[in-house]
Structure 1
Amino acid sequence: MDTLSRAGLSGAAVNELREEILEGRLNQGERLSEVSLSTTLGVSRAPIREALLHLEQEGLVVSLPYKGASVVSLSPQDFLELSTLRIALEKLAWARAMERITPEAIADLNAIIGEMEFAVKSDLKAKLVRLDLDFHERVFIMADHSRLYTAWTAIKWQVALFLLARRKKVDDYHNIIVEEHAELIQAILNRHDPDFERLIELHIGSGYGRLNSAGAGSPAEHPAAEHPAAGSPAASVSSAPAAR
């Protein structure tokens, strides 16, 4: 019973700390003191220690010898790697999802877009990041590929940090999130759209370019920013549609 109780406290601490990080109340690089967190959350240090270990496995926390734990701090190179890897994973996920799409799955995606519209109107910017993540999570589930889903979950929470950084540095995220995700749904309904892979590259890659143009690196490092489709809005990183 004590073990179950502690596991419950640890899980609650994981959820609380993850939310603090994804809401931006705990900043990247910020030190995480077990003593301070124990006092703040009203639990002993053991569940806090377990929660920090779990968050480290998720990629949200790093622990260094003699320095303790802190919120992970992602560099421009980290953002580049996340973006390029995510493009590769999502191309496969969407290709497989197209073959398995059902009316119920489309309804689920449209429901998320409905929530996005409400969040935009209510200026719930942090909520938009979670809905963005949920939307793409559904696609990876639809893909029905266990190893692909495992690869996605390995980067999912750092993708959320990327979205958080993008929202903070380039404040147009809420202006385009609904339209771009609606375009993705339309593309999946069209099936075998020859331009679909390019749409994925722009959806993810131009967001990376926008973030870099705001001071997080060189947009030209990213393939979608370096080789924009002729005549597309992404021909200039500064005018490319921001991506999720």
Structure 2
Amino acid sequence: MDTLSRAGLSGAAVNELREEILEGRLNQGERLSEVSLSTTLGVSRAPIREALLHLEQEGLVVSLPYKGASVVTLSPQDFLELSTLRIALEKLAWARAMERVTPEAIADLTAIISEMDFAVKSDQKAKLVRLDLDFHERVFVMADHSRLYTAWTAIKWQVALFLLARRKKVDDYHSIIVEEHAELIDAILAGHAADFEHLIEVHIGSGYGRLNSAATSSPAG
């Protein structure tokens, strides 16, 4: 991690630590020492403490009495809850987005898919997770529903951890991500509610199923 500039130390620390977690360089359950992070990032402990609090609010960090902060560990039950909640949120988001879709919005989504395709071909696996989030973020923005968007932002970084875990444990993520998102755009252009609801269930639900199967088939320890 590069030494941070003095401007906006807390925000810069948030961005740096979030990237470390989402890139998989800080693993689930790993202790986050204020002293160590302060030394590594070249800042005082105060902005580190503020950054850890912010990341805790995002669901990426957990802080326990007498144990300090650590990267959150998501259980199979957590992944199930994230998947089922996300399906419900996305169905509403896509239904509203379908009513508000513009050529510019479709162009933005298509551009992200093109970036996904390039990331797949250039083996930028970590970038795929971020592009996946960006794609769905655009749909929630397009839905134009402030409380729905708030619900999405409350879980989106844990969704990123889900995608990271899936990418690490299930080797088909990179091979299907482009096609699945392109199908979602086709559905919104066609305006068929039944089609996109089914696609969302498959897109999110099958991802959980693959990850769960990989976890249960892995040897203990």
Provide closer, same or farther for how the CA distance between residues 15 and 4 of structure 1 changes in structure 2, counting only shifts above 3 A.
Answer: closer
Q: Is the 8 A contact 2:3 2:41 kept in 1?
A: no
1:222-244 Cα shifts (integer Å, max 9, x gaps):
xxxxxxxxxxxxxxxxxxxxx99
Cα distance in 1 for residues equivalent to 2:90 and 2:103: 21
Provide closer, same or farther for how the CA distance between residues 43 and 215 of structure 1 changes in structure 2, counting only shifts above 3 A.
Answer: same
1:39-62 Cα shifts (integer Å, max 9, x gaps):
000000000000000000000000
Secondary structure at the aligned position of 1:2 is classed as coil
CA drift of 1:198 comes to 1.3
- Farther off after superposition, 85-94 or 192-201: 192-201
Q: Is the 8 A contact 1:212 1:218 kept in 2?
A: no
1:156-177 Cα shifts (integer Å, max 9, x gaps):
0000000000000001111011
Q: Quick one: higher RCO (CA 8 Å, sep 6+), 1 or 2? A: 2
Cα distance in 2 for residues equivalent to 1:19 and 1:50: 16
Cα distance in 2 for residues equivalent to 1:76 and 1:49: 29
1:61-117 Cα shifts (integer Å, max 9, x gaps):
000001000000000000000000000000000000000000000000000001001
Q: Is the 8 A contact 1:76 1:217 kept in 2?
A: no
Q: Is the 8 A contact 2:3 2:42 kept in 1?
A: no
1:124-155 Cα shifts (integer Å, max 9, x gaps):
00000000000000000000000000000000
Q: How large is the RMSD of aligned CA atoms in angstroms? A: 4.1
Secondary structure at the aligned position of 1:129 is classed as helix
CA drift of 1:216 comes to 5.1
Cα distance in 2 for residues equivalent to 1:126 and 1:212: 20
1:16-43 Cα shifts (integer Å, max 9, x gaps):
0000000000000000000000000000
Cα distance in 2 for residues equivalent to 1:7 and 1:129: 28
Provide closer, same or farther for how the CA distance between residues 195 and 218 of structure 1 changes in structure 2, counting only shifts above 3 A.
Answer: farther
Percent identical residues: 91
- How many residues align structurally? 221
Which runs of 5 or more structure 2 residues have no equivalent in the other structure? none
Q: Is the 8 A contact 1:100 1:142 kept in 2?
A: yes
Provide closer, same or farther for how the CA distance between residues 7 and 158 of structure 1 changes in structure 2, counting only shifts above 3 A.
Answer: farther
Q: Is the 8 A contact 2:32 2:70 kept in 1?
A: yes
- TM-score, normalization: structure 1? 0.86
CA drift of 1:2 comes to 22
CA drift of 1:194 comes to 2.4
Provide closer, same or farther for how the CA distance between residues 2 and 103 of structure 1 changes in structure 2, counting only shifts above 3 A.
Answer: closer
Provide closer, same or farther for how the CA distance between residues 77 and 8 of structure 1 changes in structure 2, counting only shifts above 3 A.
Answer: same
Q: Is the 8 A contact 2:4 2:42 kept in 1?
A: no
Over 3 Å off, 4+ runs: 1-7, 216-219
Which runs of 5 or more structure 1 residues have no equivalent in the other structure? 220-242
Cα distance in 2 for residues equivalent to 1:202 and 1:115: 22
